Structure 1
Amino acid sequence: MVVPAAGAALALGMTGVAGAAVIQNAPEVVPAVVLDDQGDTQIEPESIMLAPADGNDAVNFITWLVWNDGIAVGTGVEQVNTCEPTCAEGTTLSKPVVIVLDNVEPLDDSDDVHFTEARISGVDGSRTVELSSVAILPIDDAA
């Protein structure tokens, strides 16, 4: 038996009004933030500098696929200075990576939470980085 689309929607209780009611009654999800070493917060930064003291390791050009109150998943380009023979004379290598932020903890004096760990996965394997001393670069609102 073939059921027209409108009939199927009515049979399932999926009218436009019912669909809107479900969306309006959905709980608000407050997304977690990235907290940098200066105490600044940001949602979906385009760059996270993993070694802010010397700037020799960063994930740039991040496109976030998921960002909510428990996990963030994105793709980007990790740019790492080889520091050979010295960091001043080193070469910057660029490689595609997946970045996953998780392990949320509450922010002081707030109901908000922030991510405390980043997992970086790429062709060289995976590693976990604590987000206690990262720098976040702001999103350019002019773009």
Structure 2
Amino acid sequence: MGRNPMRAAVTLCAAAALAVPLSTASAAPPAEHTARQTQDPVLVDCSSQPDVRPEAFVLACGDGNSRLSALRWVRWDANSAVGRGTNAINDCVPYCAAGAFHSYPVTVRLDQPRAWEKDPGEQHFTRITLTFTDGRPDGFPRVVTYPLGD
């Protein structure tokens, strides 16, 4: 222990006291990350922002010509989400900039959750299905399904 055994003992005790909290903190996952892994999947919007139970959602990110509004969710869990709302769709007549929006009531289903590329610890829904419940745009089937990206 060299020339000053007391100094060496104090130094060793101080080093041990500092090492214990550091090793414990680094061994445990951050609380925020743990909480995110247990959350239900999110819906990723056009700006790559996650949301749970949004009141509105843009389906046509490029031009905004199809969007959901007045969304009311009756279920949102680890496997799927189901809600009701309105799908406002631009008829693009005579062209989209001069077109008119028409609103149709829909049932919305989100499913096929997968790890989100931006945050692999977070699940996001990758498919949306709309069921038109009272009227629908010309040429649209009653049920339409779209993939949802990252």
**TM-score, L = length of structure 2:** 0.65
Segments of 4+ moved more than 2 angstroms:
36-39, 107-112
CA RMSD of aligned residues (A): 1.8
TM-score (norm 1): 0.68
1:52 matched to 2:61? The reply is: yes
Give 1:107's match in structure 2, choosing from 88, 111, 116: 116
- Indicate the larger mover: 60-69 or 36-45: 36-45
Matched, 1:91 2:100: yes
The count of corresponding residues between Structure 1 and Structure 2 is: 106
Matches within 5 A, 1:56-95: 56-95=65-104
Offset of 1:51 from its aligned partner?
A: 0.5
| Contact 1:36–1:132 (CA under 8 A) maintained in structure 2 | no
Matched, 1:118 2:128: yes
Which segment drifts farther, 97-106 or 35-44? 35-44
Q: Structure 1: where are the runs of 5+ without partners?
A: 1-27, 134-143
Aligned counterparts of 1:40 and 1:64: Cα–Cα separation in 2: 19
Q: What do residues 20-75 of structure 1 show as CA deviations (whole Å, max 9, x unaligned)?
A: xxxxxxxx952110123433111011111010211110011100000011100000
Flag the structure with higher helix content.
2
Deviations 1:61-115 (A, max 9, x none): 1000000111000000000000010112111110100000001101245432100
- Higher RCO, Cα 8 Å, sep 6+: 1
Percent pairwise identity: 30
Return the structure number with greater strand share.
1
Counterpart CA distance in 1 for 2:62 and 2:86 is: 20
Q: Residues 88 and 39 from structure 1, CA distance in 2 versus in 1: closer, same or farther, beyond 3 angstroms?
A: closer
**Partner deviation per Cα, 1:117-137 (whole Å, 9 max, x = no partner):** 10010043011011117xxxx
Aligned match of 2:147? 130
Task: Determine which structure has more spread, i.e. the larger CA radius of gyration.
Answer: 2
Q: Secondary structure at the match of 1:76?
A: strand
- Aligned amino acid, residue 79 of structure 1: A
